[in-house]
Amino acid sequence: MKISEAQSSIDQWIKKYGVRYFNELTNMVILTEEVGELAKLMSRKYGEQSFKNEKSDVEIKNQISDEIADVMFVLICLANQMDIDLEKAIHKNLEKKTTRDKDRHHNNDKLK
């Protein structure tokens, strides 16, 4: 699915099932909550914290995948309600990063 298709699909979903978009501040808070849920899983899978109950690698991967999708959903909601074309924004952002960082990481001894 292209990003523009995701933006359209989520807009249709909101209008059909969500009634309307939450306001931007509410969505920003929801995004923070979703990122926190992802961070909790990541800290337990890759960090030093542990799960309360044993989980299989497949179960953990599925949960992380779902949390990443939740983050993307809310980000797309924010973009939609602020009339931001994410494909254009990402393309412009990659151009900025390429210009700024084209040699930076290759010259970083910590990455070698």
pLDDT of residue 112: 86
The 10s digit of each residue's pLDDT in 44-96 is 999 999 999 999 999 999 999 999 999 999 999 999 999 999 999 999 999 99
Q: pTM for the whole thing?
A: 0.90
Cβ–Cβ under 8 Å, residues 64 and 42: yes
Token pair belonging to 6: 């995701």
CATH architecture of 3-84: Orthogonal Bundle (1.10)
